[in-house]
Structure 1
Amino acid sequence: MRRILDIIKKRTGSQAKSTIPFRLNLLFFIVFVLFAMLVAQLAYLQIVYGGKFEAEVDRTDKTVMTGSVPRGMIYDSKGRLLVGNSTHNAITYTKSGSVSSSDIYTIVNRLTKYITVEPSNLTSRDKADYILAAPNKSKQVIKQMPKSYRVDSNGDALSSNKVYANEVKYVEKQGIHLNDKDTQRASLFKTMSSAYSLSTVFLKDKNLSAKEIAQVSEHLTELPGVSIGSNWERDYPQGKSIASIIGGVSTEQQGIPDDELNTMLASGYSRNDRVGTSYLEKSYESILSGTKSQKQVQIGSNNQIKKSTTLYKGQKGGNLNLTIDSKFQKKVQAALEEQYSAAQAAGITQYSDGAYVVAMNPKTGAILAMAGIRNNPQTGKTSEDALGVINRTFVMGSAVKGATVLGAMMDGVISPSNNTQADNPIYLPGTPVKKSVYPAGTFSSLSAIQALQFSSNIYMMNLALKEAHASYVPNKSISMNDDIFDKLRGYFNQFGLGVKTGIDISGETTGIEGATHNSDGKLKTGSALDLSYGNYDAYTLIEMAQYISTIANGGYRLKPYVVQSIQKTKDDGTKGALTSVTKPSVLNKVGVTEDELNVVKKGMYAAVHGSGYWTTATRLKDLSPAVAAKTGTAQSFYYNPDNPSSDPPETITTSLVSFGPYEDPNIAMAIVFPNLTSESGSYPQLLAKQIYTDYYKMTGQK
């Protein structure tokens, strides 16, 4: 029996021993499988989603901040600085992601211990915002407010936005009275609060003393987000005689203009970036603005900036080199002011808009100078207005007759060898006689050259009659082809009259066309005749300059430009390599022959150097080298903006187009003195003579 029990014990003991290792092995196997699954899952996440998770971490923990760079310079044709940047120290503030109003309130109150700022224009809401940002102030106001300011009619709590709006309303009702220091603090609070997250704003960038800089620098640790930086503003070392064509730059507060907001934001701009708002500054914004600096900032768990690393230091804006010589520009402006002052002294500027002049190189289209005076007839005050050359229109009178003659030649109604016409006044029923300025019968007939020399209106009207296939009988209505306006304007357009010139300055307007038909649908035949000698449609002065340049250079309508080249800026701020150079751009070739052009050139030469009492531009005959010119006089009217319903007084607009030297022109000029009360004085000719004298002397031409 004992033997049997021993056998059983041996067997059961053996089974027990063998059972324990099996269970342990099973447990170890299960643990191994779980670990393998975990490793596999980690590997799967790392391989498949690792990049995504890493990007998410970078996105939430790291942000790239951009910074502005100095704007590019603008130089004249001789390398003189026209527009630069004056840099000065500034106190800046970079807003972190989670800063609260109370945090900003604390910073502001600490900062105003060290600096003094000019208070900005504050609304009552701005002041209330500052007051409510004080520690525990909002809670105190909520307790004091009427119940209706906190809950609605059902007793439900109002939203936090509505409650805050009621807090502002309550504070305003109680009355807001800030002393000078608190007004400064409220101004800073407004600037800092309105900043976008991680954007930098200027708290003080003018009249910043060394003491203020030192004190702020010593206490930066208690002023989170505040730092010492620099800011710039445009300055004009050569004066502002062409500041109007250069244009303006927005302030940080103005930022991007509303009408370009979406486009510029999509191009990488920030809302408060300073950008060109007009003319050259706007047209060449992408060049002048440069490329922003980039910093990668690491944001901590409290959304405060912990670390900043410069990724790209930015590139200062490119420089513009203009076609304008600033010394010549000043002389042109001074000569214009002298002649306009003479007109004022003569008492004929009562209704005058001002006066304008532009000179360009007819071989290239390069603008050599452009100047303007804007006069306010109500106040008599004048201001510089070079932009009036491209954005104001005037009826120019006989100065356009060169285009009329050449248009008639293109139309085939006259030719270089057959262009003599009778010079008899035109009589239409119900209208005053249409004739030239000289007495009827002064000339029995005129050639095209003589018609330009003596400025015959009759000659030009006869050309229009022929182009319109009209049969003229004195004191009878004229029947014309209905396309006469289109025909005359089509020829004018080829020279640049009535179309945009394409000048590289934003804001160019185009000429104004008069009506072709009257109220009952009949063709305005009398107005078609007026159009032929320049007394109907209006043109800009830059159009007139392009027109006379086209005649001077042999029939090529060139695109005017003021930017000769663009240059990079080196790290030390000096000019670097050229990135582009403007080349002459031919917009169209007028369909005239050299012989046809020579008829008009000789006519304009005769207008200066010809003999006879009625020769029109003789005040220029003493110039050497010789020039050619065409004068213009047009009837105009002054409309009083303060009393538009009153009968407008009749005025005189005088103009002049010219080019020189006659044999090989390198300067073409257009001038206008609008709305004078008398055509006496020949101010455009006297102005042109002074400008040519200065130009020839400066360029060494004899």
Structure 2
Amino acid sequence: MIKKNIKKSHVPFRLNILFLCVFLLFSALVLRLGVIQIVQGEDFERLTEQTENVTAKSSAPRGKMFDRYGRVLVDNEPTFTLTYIRTQNTKSKERLEVARKLATFIDVDTDKVTERDLKDYWILTKPEKAKAKLSDKEWSELKPKAAYQLQIDRIKEDDLKEISDDAEEMKVAAIKRQMDTGYALSSQSIKKGLTREEIAKVSEHLDILPGVDIQADAERVYPYGNTLETMFGNLGQIPEEQIDKYKMRGYDHNDLVGVSYLEKEYEELLKGQKAKKKYITDKSGKPMGEPIVTPGKRGNDLVLTVDIDLQKKLDSILANQLRDARARGNPHADRAYAIAMDPMTGDILAFGGTKYDSSENEYIEYSYGTLSEAYEMGSAVKGASVLTGYETGVIGHGTVLYDTPILIPQTEPKASYTKMFSINDLTALERSSNVYMFRIAMMIAGYDYQPNTRGIPWNRNAYDTIRYNFNQFGLGKKTGIDMPIETAGINGGYDVLGKLMDLMIGQFDTYTPLQMAQYVSTIANGGKRLQPHFLKEVHEPSNVNGLSNILVEQFDTNVLNTLQMSNSDIDRVRNGLWRVTNGSRGTAEDEFIGADYSHAGKTGTAQVKDDRYNLSFVGFAPYDNPEIAISVIVPNMNDDGNHVNQRIGRQLLDAYFDLKDKPKPSSPAESDADEDAN
């Protein structure tokens, strides 16, 4: 019997189980979608309208500045600031209401309220009167912006008196002005330096002052008064033309930044990290819930190269010597400058300027003139002149030249202060011979000098040759100091042969006191032109008094260029400068008698008018192992024999060595006590 194959008509059991699972999962998915869409739909729709990209920031204290021995020069004084943060949908009338309430709790300065501010405030607070400024036809025909401007134009002085004559209204207008200055969700300062009473009143009513807060803040203070105050620099609003640049670096429109000198130069190091409040807002911009707060951080602390004790001594020396010079019959002498720097590192040890303020009859701090004002420095540059003679090959060690007046056609006789006759290079430096330098200049120019002989050719490229060599010392070039501005002095250009000769004795081009300090440092250290600098170290901010041990950055000595001159040439000139302060006929020998340290230097007298002289001095000590190099300039003296330049130089060097091994006071009070004891 043949068996037939019979097909099974039912689905295998395991496949049925699979179908059932798929069915159950699909049902659960449908159910879940239904719950999301029907039950939770409104909640999720609201969530989709939220945004998390709005962050409010508040200021953070800047870093402090210390002197080289860790004494605070620029500090932060704790204060409290009233701030306001407006949301994107806050109306002007709502801000006005808050301003009116605040005006009952705080006092504010109204001086910054402008006429335009008052007009805007008048329109807001006098809506009916403001509407009446335009006719119905004008309201219907003009666009809102044009209509508003026409209202502004038609507001009269008598209208504004309704506000300006009311002290309380002016307070409200001033507060409202500050509230409107910022933009949405930016922290805007309403008043800095709240009193305790104001803090208490505002704190009690914060629940009715939406957007208002009280924040801990800090203001710059200077424990040593106005000492070096101008070099520290100032804070101010971001300049309008630089707003975009600062915004790209994370700044807000209303931030205070360094706008001059060290505050500006080291803005990125000094600025703090702001505290941040991250808001979740709805579609209309209204914050929802509590913000996420990120704490701020104070800026880094700077250790400067200056010794504040030496700086105070320098300020006193300059003021006293300038006062004495004026008392001796020099009414045009209204300023004096001096700089002390470490010739081996470029550290600025002291940096002083004093100016006589005739309107107040007092002597004021004027240190920035040391890098912004340039003068004819006179014979103080002759170290560079002799080295230029060596380098160009027109003189050598011991070359003898004849010092008698130089007679060039159509030029006044050019002479030294006395006839020195046959002298060599060292004597020329010791006695400060002009004629020796004149002859070097003429030889560089290829001028075969014969008294009163016309028509002798000379090479005008000698100007370039001399300036190139002077530039190697920093004379006529910016020093590279870590400041946002400095001048390079004035290049007198190209002129007659007589002016070329003047260039060699420092009476044609002009140089800054800082350039002169860099120049003498280059000779003192054996030929390296170093970048002068104020920054020594950068430290992490400390939560206690004093510096933290965490070093962020350290300034390394920066050699800008090395002289092409040989070591023997530089040593020869160094010896010549030693003779200036030590030789029997040295021009500064009298002022340096009795010093208990070895020294060298060069005096300078530049006649700038018939009866006016710039008196300068450069020097360094100790002679064999220099620790300090100085430059001094007192312009516009009537008496070229006053020696005020030399006295300042001697007293500054004395002060350095007197202070060198003494304990360093830790505060201004201790420093003042030490001075009183002395």
Once the two structures are TM-superposed, the CA of residue 62 in structure 1 deviates from its matched residue by 4.4
Once the two structures are TM-superposed, the CA of residue 291 in structure 1 deviates from its matched residue by 2.3
2:551 is equivalent to residue 578 of structure 1: yes
State how far apart, in whole Å, the 2-side matches of 1:532 and 1:402 are.
10
State how far apart, in whole Å, the 1-side matches of 2:286 and 2:589 are.
75
Residue 600 of structure 1 aligns to a residue in which SS? Answer: helix
Q: Which residue of 2 aligns with 1:419?
A: 399
The one-letter code sitting in structure 1 at the alignment partner of 2:251 is: Y
2:514 is equivalent to residue 542 of structure 1: yes
Once the two structures are TM-superposed, the CA of residue 475 in structure 1 deviates from its matched residue by 1.1
State how far apart, in whole Å, the 1-side matches of 2:313 and 2:515 are.
23
Q: Which residue of 1 aligns with 2:483?
A: 505
The answer (yes or no) to whether the contact 1:61–1:300 under 8 Å persists in 2 is no
Q: Which residue of 1 aligns with 2:413?
A: 433
Residue 76 of structure 2 aligns to a residue in which SS? Answer: strand
The one-letter code sitting in structure 1 at the alignment partner of 2:439 is: N
Residue 566 of structure 1 aligns to a residue in which SS? Answer: strand
Structure 1 residues 428 and 628 mapped into 2: Cα distance closer, same or farther (>3 Å)? same
The one-letter code sitting in structure 1 at the alignment partner of 2:54 is: T
Q: Which residue of 2 aligns with 1:374?
A: 355
Structure 1 residues 376 and 471 mapped into 2: Cα distance closer, same or farther (>3 Å)? farther
Q: Deviations over 1:185-226 (max 9, x none)?
A: 1111111112211111222213x3322212211111111111
Work out which of the residue numbers 192, 203, 213 in structure 1 matches 2:190.
203
The answer (yes or no) to whether the contact 2:447–2:458 under 8 Å persists in 1 is yes
Structure 1 residues 412 and 173 mapped into 2: Cα distance closer, same or farther (>3 Å)? closer
State how far apart, in whole Å, the 1-side matches of 2:157 and 2:512 are.
57
State how far apart, in whole Å, the 1-side matches of 2:651 and 2:582 are.
17
The answer (yes or no) to whether the contact 1:601–1:628 under 8 Å persists in 2 is yes
2:654 is equivalent to residue 693 of structure 1: yes
Work out which of the residue numbers 380, 386, 393 in structure 1 matches 2:367.
386
Once the two structures are TM-superposed, the CA of residue 167 in structure 1 deviates from its matched residue by 2.8
Structure 1 residues 87 and 74 mapped into 2: Cα distance closer, same or farther (>3 Å)? same
Q: Which residue of 2 aligns with 1:212?
A: 198
- Equivalent runs, 1:303-318 vs 2, <5 Å: 303-310=285-292, 312-318=294-300
Once the two structures are TM-superposed, the CA of residue 569 in structure 1 deviates from its matched residue by 0.8
The answer (yes or no) to whether the contact 1:607–1:618 under 8 Å persists in 2 is no
State how far apart, in whole Å, the 2-side matches of 1:433 and 1:161 are.
76
Structure 1 residues 271 and 392 mapped into 2: Cα distance closer, same or farther (>3 Å)? same
Work out which of the residue numbers 452, 475, 487 in structure 2 matches 1:475.
452
State how far apart, in whole Å, the 1-side matches of 2:611 and 2:308 are.
37
Structure 1 residues 56 and 587 mapped into 2: Cα distance closer, same or farther (>3 Å)? farther
Work out which of the residue numbers 151, 156, 162 in structure 2 matches 1:172.
156
Deviation larger for 559-568 or 302-311: 302-311
2:341 is equivalent to residue 360 of structure 1: yes
Q: Which runs of 5+ in 2 are unaligned?
A: 1-22, 38-44, 663-678
State how far apart, in whole Å, the 1-side matches of 2:73 and 2:281 are.
43
The answer (yes or no) to whether the contact 2:181–2:188 under 8 Å persists in 1 is no
Q: Which residue of 1 aligns with 2:127?
A: 138
Q: Which has the larger radius of gyration?
A: 1
The answer (yes or no) to whether the contact 2:61–2:76 under 8 Å persists in 1 is yes
Residue 176 of structure 1 aligns to a residue in which SS? Answer: helix
The answer (yes or no) to whether the contact 2:322–2:333 under 8 Å persists in 1 is no
Once the two structures are TM-superposed, the CA of residue 693 in structure 1 deviates from its matched residue by 1.3
Q: Deviations over 1:410-457 (max 9, x none)?
A: 1111222x421111221011221100012x3xx221111100011000
The answer (yes or no) to whether the contact 1:375–1:382 under 8 Å persists in 2 is yes
Once the two structures are TM-superposed, the CA of residue 378 in structure 1 deviates from its matched residue by 7.9
State how far apart, in whole Å, the 1-side matches of 2:439 and 2:154 are.
81
The answer (yes or no) to whether the contact 2:70–2:547 under 8 Å persists in 1 is no
Q: Deviations over 1:487-513 (max 9, x none)?
A: 000110001100011011121111211
State how far apart, in whole Å, the 2-side matches of 1:121 and 1:695 are.
47
The one-letter code sitting in structure 2 at the alignment partner of 1:525 is: L
Structure 1 residues 622 and 242 mapped into 2: Cα distance closer, same or farther (>3 Å)? same
Residue 516 of structure 2 aligns to a residue in which SS? Answer: helix
State how far apart, in whole Å, the 1-side matches of 2:47 and 2:447 are.
80
Identity of paired residues, percent?
A: 33
2:466 is equivalent to residue 488 of structure 1: yes
Work out which of the residue numbers 306, 326, 330 in structure 2 matches 1:324.
306
Work out which of the residue numbers 81, 84, 87 in structure 1 matches 2:75.
84
- Equivalent runs, 1:46-57 vs 2, <5 Å: 57=49
Structure 1 residues 238 and 491 mapped into 2: Cα distance closer, same or farther (>3 Å)? same
2:384 is equivalent to residue 403 of structure 1: yes
The answer (yes or no) to whether the contact 1:617–1:685 under 8 Å persists in 2 is no
Work out which of the residue numbers 184, 198, 221 in structure 2 matches 1:235.
221
The one-letter code sitting in structure 2 at the alignment partner of 1:274 is: L
Q: Deviations over 1:608-662 (max 9, x none)?
A: 11113x644431132121211100000114xxxxxxxxxxx75110000000111
The one-letter code sitting in structure 1 at the alignment partner of 2:576 is: G
State how far apart, in whole Å, the 1-side matches of 2:130 and 2:401 are.
93
State how far apart, in whole Å, the 2-side matches of 1:56 and 1:398 are.
79
Q: Which runs of 5+ in 1 are unaligned?
A: 1-28, 44-52, 152-156, 518-523, 638-648
Once the two structures are TM-superposed, the CA of residue 559 in structure 1 deviates from its matched residue by 0.7
Q: Which residue of 2 aligns with 1:75?
A: 66
Q: Which residue of 2 aligns with 1:643?
A: none
State how far apart, in whole Å, the 2-side matches of 1:130 and 1:310 are.
35
Residue 71 of structure 1 aligns to a residue in which SS? Answer: coil
Q: Which residue of 2 aligns with 1:622?
A: 594
Q: Which residue of 1 aligns with 2:114?
A: 123
The answer (yes or no) to whether the contact 1:621–1:627 under 8 Å persists in 2 is no
The answer (yes or no) to whether the contact 1:617–1:631 under 8 Å persists in 2 is no
Work out which of the residue numbers 173, 178, 186 in structure 2 matches 1:191.
178
Once the two structures are TM-superposed, the CA of residue 131 in structure 1 deviates from its matched residue by 2.6
Residue 498 of structure 1 aligns to a residue in which SS? Answer: coil
2:616 is equivalent to residue 655 of structure 1: yes
The answer (yes or no) to whether the contact 2:52–2:278 under 8 Å persists in 1 is no
Structure 1 residues 444 and 113 mapped into 2: Cα distance closer, same or farther (>3 Å)? closer
State how far apart, in whole Å, the 2-side matches of 1:560 and 1:591 are.
20
Structure 1 residues 88 and 434 mapped into 2: Cα distance closer, same or farther (>3 Å)? same
Structure 1 residues 532 and 186 mapped into 2: Cα distance closer, same or farther (>3 Å)? same
Once the two structures are TM-superposed, the CA of residue 680 in structure 1 deviates from its matched residue by 2.7
The answer (yes or no) to whether the contact 2:57–2:187 under 8 Å persists in 1 is no
Q: Which residue of 2 aligns with 1:49?
A: none
The answer (yes or no) to whether the contact 2:306–2:349 under 8 Å persists in 1 is yes
2:560 is equivalent to residue 587 of structure 1: yes
Q: Which residue of 2 aligns with 1:245?
A: 231
Residue 540 of structure 2 aligns to a residue in which SS? Answer: strand
The answer (yes or no) to whether the contact 1:454–1:616 under 8 Å persists in 2 is no
Once the two structures are TM-superposed, the CA of residue 674 in structure 1 deviates from its matched residue by 0.4
- Kindly tell me the number of residue pairs found equivalent between the two proteins: 623
Structure 1 residues 575 and 475 mapped into 2: Cα distance closer, same or farther (>3 Å)? same
State how far apart, in whole Å, the 2-side matches of 1:574 and 1:309 are.
34
Residue 394 of structure 1 aligns to a residue in which SS? Answer: coil
Structural RMSD (CA):
2.5
The answer (yes or no) to whether the contact 1:358–1:370 under 8 Å persists in 2 is yes
State how far apart, in whole Å, the 2-side matches of 1:213 and 1:382 are.
40
TM-score (norm 1): 0.84
Structure 1 runs of 4+ off > 4 angstroms?
53-58, 376-381, 571-574
Once the two structures are TM-superposed, the CA of residue 63 in structure 1 deviates from its matched residue by 1.1
The answer (yes or no) to whether the contact 1:512–1:538 under 8 Å persists in 2 is yes
2:245 is equivalent to residue 263 of structure 1: yes
TM-score (norm 2): 0.87
Structure 1 residues 511 and 140 mapped into 2: Cα distance closer, same or farther (>3 Å)? closer
Residue 288 of structure 2 aligns to a residue in which SS? Answer: strand
The answer (yes or no) to whether the contact 1:149–1:166 under 8 Å persists in 2 is no
Work out which of the residue numbers 222, 226, 234 in structure 1 matches 2:208.
222
State how far apart, in whole Å, the 1-side matches of 2:168 and 2:91 are.
22
